[in-house]
Amino acid sequence: MQPRPDASPVDHARHRVRIVQTGEVYQCSEVETLLQGMARIGRKGIPVGCLNGGCGVCKIGVAVGTVRCVGPMSRAHVSEDEEARGICLACRVAPVGSVEVDVVGKLKKALTFHWGAGAAAGGAGAPRVQQTKET
Amino acid sequence: MGVMRIGHVSLKVMDMAAAVSHYENVVGMTKTMEDKHGNVYLKCWDEWDKFSLQLKKADAAGMDHVAYKVEHDADLDELKKRIEAYGIKTKMLAEGTLPATGRMLQFKMPSGHDMRLYAMKECVGTAVGSVNPDPWPDGLKGAGAKWLDHVALVCELNPGTGVNTVADNCKFFKECLGFHLGEQGLVGPGGAIQAVAFMFRTTKPHDIAFLGGPTPGIHHASFFLDSWEEVLKAADVMAKKKVKIDLPPTRHGITRGQTVYFFDPSGNRNETFAGLGYLAQPDRPVSTWTEDSLWRGILFHSGEPYPAFTEVYT
């Protein structure tokens, strides 16, 4: 994954990002998204999806601090009400200062039908299925 | 008679300017018109009808509808009867509902996806014309895709509740629309669950694919290239333009396609692929992928799960 062409992270202020669930901490430039900043240095914690605001897997809640929205987010995944409460997609927000985020997207789709991955990982048996609700 | 091929896909995009730039400069399509609502229409160089992609401004990503072209206008009346007898409601949309397009028979697939059939779309010719045509035109951009080849739709599949719209779609497409099953993935105890289905009306391995998932959506819209070399070049184009590549150039076991996957600026997945795989015919034995080899069918080289490929979609 590459930073956006107009973003040169090294020349800009960096802010501390903490992922509440995992305790993971990384530094993210104010000109890259929380997801780009995380993935660029090989960190994990927030699920990485389409990177463009459409699929919703990187949905987070900003628990502490402020972020800046840098592009459109799918309303199928973040409602206006949620957005007002600090829910957003990590691929579409850049940090304005230190932030703490809750992962709420959490690859819900990952927990559902695996197209055979269940068998590949654990031998024979029924496919792995879990009831989930689309957020 | 009946359905000929995929005609167009309508994709929802959240940033129109970025979307148009992507489909022109990365996929290599040409903008052919814009309607009064600001929707933009594009075609690939080797397509002869006016558009194969409608970009629709929306506040979410995903597919608005997919349309297939039938051979004769009267086919629409025949198919309307057949679809309604099957128990699915239809609506005939008047000519001009979409610009440069004749009347469209609209209905929902069993999976809930909006589908249209039409017989007429303005023919503007390919970029090389039809008289002593060159093999390819000058000035191609990006991947230089030849045509919109197929869409792969995520269809609700929940064995716990007995819901399997992959199988439902497969039955409907076979019995009502005259599609043939080319390949399938069977999972669960005794392989009783049809989790993926690849179907064709033309002579290539798929004109539409159905993939099981928790909620309906579009997995990808796919564009055809001539060769493995062009797939590599398409990936180079994406890297140069900082487009997020989902799956670097590789081969599918299913359909034998040589492929690269990426995301448009709204997160809709695109594929550019090469290789017509094999001659698809109604009497060709169906290829079946068993649960233990299904990932080999998807990623032939590694054969290992790559969950983001199946879990991320719009």
Q: Where are the domains of chain B?
A: 3-118, 147-311
Using a CB-CB distance cutoff of 8 angstroms, which residues of chain B are in contact with residue A71?
Answer: 14-15
CATH architecture of structural domain B147-311: Roll (3.10)
Q: Do domains B3-118 and B147-311 have the same CATH topology?
A: yes
Question: Average pLDDT of A110-124?
Answer: 40
Residue A125: the pLDDT is 36
Point out the residue among B267, B291, B292 whose CB comes nearest to the CB of A55: B267
Residue A112: the pLDDT is 41
Does residue B150 carry a catalytic annotation?
A: yes
Closest to A113 measured CA to CA, from B183, B294, B150: B294
Catalytic residue among B65, B150, B156, B313: B150
Question: Average pLDDT of B25-39?
Answer: 98
Q: What angle do CA B277, B306, B259 make, to 5 degrees?
A: 30
Residue A41: the pLDDT is 86
Q: What confidence tens digit (pLDDT) does each residue in B215-237 have? A: 999 999 999 999 999 999 999 99
Q: Which two tokens stand for residue B191?
A: 């392989």
Contact B224, B147 (CB under 8 A): yes
Flag whether residue A76 sits within 8 Å of chain B, measured between CB atoms: yes
**Confidence (pTM):** 0.91
Nearest CA in chain B to A36: B244
Residue A94 contacts by C-beta under 8 Å, 6 or more apart in sequence?
Answer: A28, A29, A30, A31, A32, A33, A34, A67, A68, A70
Q: What confidence tens digit (pLDDT) does each residue in A67-96 have? A: 999 999 999 999 999 999 999 999 999 999
Question: Average pLDDT of A94-120?
Answer: 66
Residue B1: the pLDDT is 79
Question: Average pLDDT of B260-271?
Answer: 98
CA separation for the pair B42, B36 (Å, rounded): 15
Confidence of residue A111 (pLDDT cuts 50, 70, 90): very low
Fold of the domain built from segment(s) A9-107: Ubiquitin-like (UB roll) (3.10.20)
Point out the residue among A54, A129, A134 whose CB comes nearest to the CB of B160: A129
Instruction: Give the closest-approach CA distance of A7 to chain B in angstroms.
Output: 12
Does residue B37 carry a catalytic annotation?
A: no
According to CATH, what is the number of the domain B3-118?
Answer: 3.10.180.10
Share of chain B above pLDDT 70, in %: 100
Confidence of residue B307 (pLDDT cuts 50, 70, 90): confident
Flag whether residue A44 sits within 8 Å of chain B, measured between CB atoms: no
Q: Do A120 and B214 touch (CB under 8 A)?
A: no
Residue B143 contacts by C-beta under 8 Å, 6 or more apart in sequence?
Answer: B26, B27, B28, B223, B225, B230, B233, B234, B237, B272
Does residue B118 carry a catalytic annotation?
A: no
Question: Average pLDDT of B66-77?
Answer: 98
Contact A117, A129 (CB under 8 A): no
Q: Kindly provide the ipTM of the predicted complex, given to two decimals.
A: 0.90
Q: Do A54 and B310 touch (CB under 8 A)?
A: no
Residue B193: the pLDDT is 95
Burial of B157 (0-12, 13-18, 19+ CB in 10 A): buried
Does residue B24 carry a catalytic annotation?
A: no
Q: What confidence tens digit (pLDDT) does each residue in B125-152 have? A: 999 999 999 999 999 999 999 999 999 9
Q: Do B263 and A52 touch (CB under 8 A)?
A: yes
Average per-residue pLDDT for chain B? 97
Q: Do B187 and A119 touch (CB under 8 A)?
A: yes
Flag whether residue A117 sits within 8 Å of chain B, measured between CB atoms: yes
How is chain A split into domains, by residue range?
9-107
Nearest CA in chain B to A109: B311
Residue A97: the pLDDT is 95
